């Protein structure tokens, strides 16, 4: 697949990554090579092969529905840049 710089910019935006112009052209090259490898994989015949959701041949263990966590708000909020009335404060977001 031919990757263009606009694709890189979009991916970077979605991931909230700051990418400079120099870096962007480099990423176009690197990512193109990765996509080439994906194309190679795509050419394999996977007819009848079930999609693999996880590399481990195991199934999810479940936990009992019990409250095991206590309130550790003060500890957690010690590393927050701003808190008030128990709330984490973040730059204003209005959708």
Partner 1 sequence: MQWETVIGLEVHVQLATRSKIFSGASTAFGAEPNTQACAVDLGLPGALPVLNEQAVAMAVQFGLAVHADIAEVSVFDRKNYFYPDLPKGYQTSQMYHPIVGPGDVEITLEDGATKLIRIHHAHLEEDAGKSLHEDFHGMTGIDLNRAGTPLLEIVSEPDMRSAKEAAAYLKAIHSIVTYLGISDGNMAEGSMRCDVNVSVRPTGQEAFGTRAEIKNVNSFRFVERAIAFEVERQIELIEDGGSVVQETRLFDPDRDETRSMRTKEEANDYRYFPCPDLLPVVLDQAYLDHLRSQLPELPADKRERFQNELGLSAYDANVISASRDMAEFFEAVHNECGDAKQSANWVQGELSGALNRENLSIANSPISARQLGQLISRVLDNTINGKAAKEVFQALWNGQGESADDIIDAKGLKQVTDTGAIEAMIDQVIADSPAQVAQYRDSEPEKRGKMIGYFVGQVMKASRGTANPQQVNGLLKEKLDALL
- What CA–CA distance (Å, rounded) separates 12 from 5? 10
Nearer to partner 1, 22 or 59 (CB): 59
Q: Are 19 and 27 in contact (CB under 8 A)?
A: yes
Q: Are 31 and 3 in contact (CB under 8 A)?
A: yes
Contact between 44 and partner 1 by CB under 8 A: the answer reads no
Here's the x/- map for partner 1, 62-91, by CB under 8 A: it reads as xxxxxxxx-xxx--xx----x-xxxxxxxx
Q: Are 34 and 27 in contact (CB under 8 A)?
A: no
Nearer to partner 1, 14 or 41 (CB): 14
**Interface residues toward partner 1, by CB under 8 A:** 10, 14, 16, 51, 53-54, 56, 58-69, 71-73, 76-77, 82, 84-95
């Amino acid at each position: 697949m031919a990757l263009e710089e606009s694709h890189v910019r979009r991916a970077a935006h979605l991931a909230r990554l700051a990418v400079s112009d120099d870096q962007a052209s480099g990423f176009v090259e690197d990512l193109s090579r990765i996509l080439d490898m994906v194309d190679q994989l795509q050419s394999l015949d996977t007819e009848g092969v079930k999609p693999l959701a996880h590399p481990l041949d195991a199934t999810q263990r479940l936990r009992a529905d019990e409250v095991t966590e206590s309130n550790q708000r003060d500890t957690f909020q010690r590393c927050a840049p701003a808190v008030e009335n128990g709330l984490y404060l973040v730059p204003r977001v209005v959708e």
